[in-house]
Structure 1
Amino acid sequence: MDHDAIRAQFVDAHWATLVQRVDKAVMPIADELWSNEMLGWESYCEIKAADTNQKRMRVLHGVLHSGGNAVKSDFYSGLEKHASFLLRDLSTNPPTAVDPDAVAKSLDGYKMWIQREYEFVTEYNSLPGEHVLLSERYIQPLIIMRHREKKERTEELCFMGESFQQLISSENNAEKENNVLDALFSADSKGICPGAVILQGNSGKGKSVTAQKIMLDWASGSLSRENYDCVFHLKCKELNQISEEQSLVEILSINSNLTPDQILQILQMSPKRVLVLIDGFDELIVSFGDASNKLTANDVYKKAPPEASLTALLKGCLLPESFLLVTTRSTATDTLGGLLKKPQRFTEIIGFSEREVEEYFQKFFQDEELFRNAYESVKANETLFTACSSPVICWIICTVIRERFNDGTDVTSGLETTTSIYVDFVFTLLEHHCQGLSESVPTLLKSLGQLAERGMMERQVLFDEKSAKKTVSDPSGSPFLGKFLFKKRTRQETMFSFMHLSFQEFFTALYYISLDEKEFLSKLTERFHSHWQSYGVQYLDKNCPLKYGCPELHFLPVVQFLCGLCNKEVSDSLKETHNVSVPPSVQAQLEEWILFISSNRDYNLLPFVLLCLYELHEKDFVQKAVEAWQEMDMSWDSLNRTDCWALVYCLECCPKFRSLNLNFAAEELKMLQSVLCRTPELELTLQNLTDTHVTDLISALGEGKRLGELRLNSSGLSDESMKRILHALHKQKTVGGLQIAVKNITADTALILTDFIQNTEKWEEISLRVSAGCNDAESLCSSLRLFNTDGNLVLNVLRWCSSPQNVPSLSEIILQYPRSEMSSINLKNFLQAFHDINCLTEERAGFDQQVDSLLSHLSSVSGLNAINLSAPLLTEKWASRILFLIQSCKSLKGLSFNAGSWSSDDVTWLPGRLPEEGLRLLKESPKHPQCTLNIKGFRCGKSTDGCTHQTEQFEELDCNQRVTIIFSGENYTEEISPQIKLCDILG
């Protein structure tokens, strides 16, 4: 073989590497080839026009390939002159000819193999041959691209329900619109793309499934960017099985259908377009020494101890231009961070947000009705729904529900208890995520329980490394603990935590049942009587030490889990698998305490007792406990979904129940409908009611109820919705009161209300108010209230003051007249007249005419016995109007005038003034002897030259005083008050 042929063969053998590594030498070589007439002018210009050196080399390759050995030999000479270091490096490696067509064929076969192998997932409980399509399970989890501060971590561990969902959704997440791989390797704010990415996540968060999805996306061409010619997947569980020395290409071939030679050619052809995905770094049991330092960039075929090859790959000694993605539990992050090449990026799988949980359930069940029932059931339990951020919890719950469905059980009758799901979770992790434990399972659970209990007693969710190791021998090896690094001044601090505070509470309960009976009861008694301190001993019932106690607030969830561990199904499972269970005597103590709380009707503990009863899930005992209440008042705070679900279960165990007073969100109406329908006495406060909830409300009310109060706090109901609600109230035995927030109070509203009050006598109060955020200006008034009391009807109409510059001309009217005369006032016309007055100011033309029209309307109301007016100022004109009402309304016994108006919050009173002109006219004019006149407001206290004009700071002037002036016939009294007292005509 001649000299040119040898050189040409070398160029062909190393062409893939030359394309990647010639770099800046390409143009000097091309210049010499053109100068030596080895390149044509067009080819030279095409090379020069390419925007990267790699593209220039690819263009040059085409020229060399067509030019023969002479051109390749001249190119070799250019390498000797401009890239001698590269020639020396390549000369030490045996030349391997790269066949691009063969490489392409190998890659096509590899992709087809991946699509077959990665298309399915094997679930934890899969039998041999069972599998599920990955597309039917995978939901991209939330991934954050940074380390979290200690405060953020603590909040995430402690928050529950909606607060938790809002917290994790507000994190700085990877863009979900992109493929997860594109997001992980995207450029940062400085334009730097990482060469290596750490993807951290606790057990069951979905790291391995995400790795599988990345492989499948690449093989099926689903990546939005074509950055990778080849992706390799190394599973650390499999790497642990390697005992003899192997080269990197041999290691890469373990989880593929490619031979080491095929992989070597792929790496030679495009080393910069290769991604190596290392899954489960925390599971590696090899030691990482300094052997990697002996391997160089091109030693991919050189045999070495597996730990040396892996270390060299991680550090970038092997395949320095490739990309690395390493998944790991948090417990191994610090070790990995020290090994991995730069630039590197830290990312963390947070898990599922509310949206992802819903998507997971929808994919799992596929049947729309079953999906909706299952999702709503779990969403009703705050603890479980929070735990669903872990994909493995989602899988466990969905599996349990599907099993119930297959057994013919009604899914909507109630989910499994929270405790049973947590027990399943622990068993799943123990079986599938606990390889290589250094201690037995009972020892591990007990040590975790001791750590959990200490955290509960000391109110901490983060444990420093020293204190964690005092209890748990190997906290870094536990799948139930997360390890986190935080900055503390000039150093790093290592902390551990459970997945969430609820898991810490669960492990505390699990620890208690592992103790002997005496120690268990002793610890429980201490927690129930910690409030009593030393003198609590004298109140201790020796036969039932828990009876007169009450658990500390933060310890309540532990007691709830203990009740769940008493559940027969859960208890039998624990007894069978780990030989632990709640001693019968302790269970009897807990049940006795629940009966004691129930018999004493401690309403503060009622929601908690219901949760405990739900966890116990023993129908006969639940019925016995609930029957002790008969009346349940939980109106002091809005019930969450978990409280509602427990209430439904408990009342379904006790069909004969008399009275409920509840405060809850309108979204829970469907859930509570069955118990509300059959409870004869109700008092309800509903939050966030909308028109879409009205059908559910009417169904829940049913017929024949004694309805104490119905308070509908909403974003604004329409007239049609109000009409439907009032129609439903016709069917009740009694209605104590109705409060509705509406969009507007219109003429139609007035007609609907008139129809109701004239056709039913079963109500005491109806209150309408325009919801915050609705256009109050379009409404005839801001608030309308009707009271039915002692044979009288009281009508209260109010217009709020939206700002100090927009004070209503007549802010409030209160009328009282016999109920028998209700038809003597046309509510629609009355409200329209009130609205028209407030569309004008006193100075505007037509104002006096509008007011006179309204007052004339009042004088025609039969039996009108009391009037209350509120306006900004007692002017002479208002004084004349007051005198007119007193003289024209013969049945009037009381008239009040309050100078001022209500602000838009309906709470703050904005006081007004009592100028001397108006007061003088009232003093000098004759009045009805049987009518008492009350005037309230600010009055100037000067003996002469009293204030007669509006002053913005009049309340701050020393001369102005809050006064109440009473005219009884011709008698006159004046009282100076330190605080303004609003008139109450009903008092």
Structure 2
Amino acid sequence: MDDTQISRHENVSPGCSSVHQKSLDPEPSCVSIRSDQSMGHPYDFKSEDTPIDLSLVHQKRSNPEPSCVSMRSDGSMNPPLYFKNEETPPDLSSVHQKSTESESGCVSMRSDDESVDQPLDVKSGDTETDLSHKALNTFRSNLLKKFECLYEGTAAQENPAFLNEIYTELYITESESGEISHEHEVRQIETQSRRSTTEDTAIKCRDIFTPLPGQDKAIRTVLTKGVAGIGKTVSVQKFILDWAEEKENQDVQLIFPLPFREINLMKDKTLSLSDLLQLYFPQTKEMEISSDKYKVLFIFDGLDECRLPLNFKRNKTLRDVSKTSSVDVLLTNLIVGNLLPSALIWITSRPAAADLVPSECVHRVTEVRGFNDPQKEEYFSKRISDQRLANTIISHLKSSRSLYIMCHIPVFCWISATVLEKMLSETETAEIPKTLTQMYTHFLILQTNIKHQKDYEEKLTDKDMILKLGKVAFQQLMKGNIIFYEEDLRECGIDVAEASVYSGLCTQIFREEFGLYQGKVFSFVHLSIQEHLAALYVHLSCIKKNRNEFNPAAKQSVLAKTKLKLKIKPASLSELHQRAVNEALQSKNGHLDLFLRFLLGLSVESHQILLQALMKLRSRSIKNNKTVEYIKMKIRTINSIEKSINLFHCLNELGDHSLVKEIQQYLKYGGIKGAKLSSSQWSAVVFVLLTSEKKLEEFDIIEFVAGNDKTEKLLVFRRLLPVVREFRSVQLYDCGLTDEGCAALASALRSNPEHLRELDLSWNNLGDSVTLLSAVLEDPHCKLEKLWLYNCGFTDEGCAALTSALRSNPEHLRDLNLSDNNLGDSVTLLSAVLENPRCKLEKLWLRDCGLTDEGCAALALALRSNPEHMKVLDLSWNNLGDSVTLLSAVLEDPRCKLEKLWLFNCGLTDKGCSALASALRSNPEHLTFLSLSENKLSKSTEKLLSDLKDDPRYKLETLYNRPALSNLAA
């Protein structure tokens, strides 16, 4: 940051040029939320999405005095009336005018011109229409000014970025409701990085309430989930901005953005919904919000930050917007639809908190997936003006799989760009970061250097500030908090004034925001920054103060010994590491996984050199042998592959790659097939496969097992299940799968239904357990194209469940093999799938399925109604007899494009074959293969078929017409 950087504690800060105007009569003004936030990191304006700087009043004041800032862009305006949807509003440019009058007292986050009535581009008069025009203009103008700019990092630039100039469309897709991951969010990103988004049905931000094709149900409530920093909040901002600029969603007449971090400040209040809206949006005093006259949208951003009970089951029912109650009751009734049932609701949340709202209250669940690989490169190319340097940064990030995966998160792209741009563009002797810990430590050092350029009391050292921020980070991380209020800070020994100083000096690390009634909200710029500082605090507490932060009893013991002036035994770093490993493994949602990576990474030698300069530490040799061996022991003994994967990442941070390199050699030379691997080695196989840069295309159990031992196959299948779900093609032929194995497979596939394209479970005695696959197949996200269930011991119940699932989602399946299952008449259920016009099935294998005349008739009727797609049909070893004549009506249909037909050993008669020959004569262009072997045909019928070759239109290349043994005997 250069010398022109202005601290948040001064009265002048840069902002949007369109709204930064000088007051002619200087008066006291508010401190902005973040007057020193500059551009740098994208798509991010709360703890996981960097808070947007709403400070649009940046004016010079000659007589600074204390004042306050509201969180409302419209807080100090006279309440206007509402504008009817059918009325056309005037040009909004009229409200962007310089104010010639000054104001005093509490200033809202708008330029001063918003505080007084402005002349609008409407005809004067007292009509309701004119007042409505003014109301809508004012309301839209406020939201426009509040959301048009995106503040990134620190405000070193003269102007912040306009959202429309830098916004890149993020991937938003529909997600399965009620699906809650128990992995750390970084693990979720690592998992998603292996999944292609090119074939997903992306939902544009503007279409968040628009049903997809084929979805005819109205959408009232949308829940959008995504990991920290992935772009949820900026998607909300873009939606509001497009509405305020009258570009999109003009059927909505009012949008009320109500972030949970602000609502938390009202948790102890008792008021009505009307009162609540008037506090945030005073204009609503003149509006009839309680009626169905207006279509309104409530946006509740940051469900994961909510500190209200949200007791949907026990809260009383409330239907009157003027009736007072707790804010918790207001919100639950609004979301459920008791209050304002016609209002649209949009809620955003990190995945772990998504189930706070009952699934029955949500009509659509979407997921923000951040940047794909091309967008990562696009970001760095835009962010770094020197394209050679940008390419160097991209190449370096690609060389480290863990770093490149993290770049799915826009905030991490900003962190990486900030660090690498400086290190690679200047003469730097330090090692270029290759791990997450190195990247974040360099980022912290860079921010302390920026801090030195600001005016602050010299007694506030880097060490003191980092330790105090680290204490807040650790204690609140253990509680699961990512936003903090005054009471949270007091628990950590920090008062609000002190926290404000920290937020002013370290704006790219620690944030201060002002909520309703001037309540302050603090947070770290991103969850990963909080986790890094927490790890640094715990590490320093151990090596500097001989304290294990995971052991409260030990703290008391240290204090007691200090009072007695006894010599204190230095705390063991390896014991701290082991305790931290255990704490992370015991976490149900993995919330300490990344913290653990940072903690272990801080102890390596290269980091000790960095910390010596940063924290004025004495040189201390740290050996991590015990920690490495302890982690390897845990990998051998824990049952969770997911948890072991994080431990491998921890070994990577410690610089130990022994297990991984060993397995890489096995895989490279094919030695893993039949190898007697230990449990830790199998875990390493999973880790290597999941972190491979290669796309996981086909998983064939035969590649990992020597011979055909079903027991061995089943064991390997269980070991590799976390990998299986990541492959596009899964071949589990003859693995001895039981009900338990099928259930585990179905569960794994259900967590990632959009990725799988081929599944072969043939020769596994699945029986009724095949019904478990139905939940995967009927999922609208499932795009399975090939399903082979040859000889799986189907029952009528299994066939019914399978066909029901396929009937609800028939668009993608192209190849279905149900051969050697005793389907009998239940094959008629399949006809409902085949006759569906959405069905595009091309290959159907029903060899030896016990088809009867009834089944064949139903099948033929279905194919006749939808004949365009079928290319391959195998009905061999079914006693069809004369019922095969029913197929002739399909074959002679000019829409039929059948290319291969097997009727081997079907008990065909001359009558049936004559009908087939007649059909082929009328439509001979497509069939290239026909098998009629092992059927009792006469010489004349055989000649009838062979004569088809004389037809010039005839395309038949292969004809198997070997007679049945009984014919030969005759």
State the TM-score, normalized to the length of structure 2.
0.36
State the TM-score, normalized to the length of structure 1.
0.35
The structure carrying a bigger helix percent of its residues is 1
The structure carrying a bigger strand percent of its residues is 1
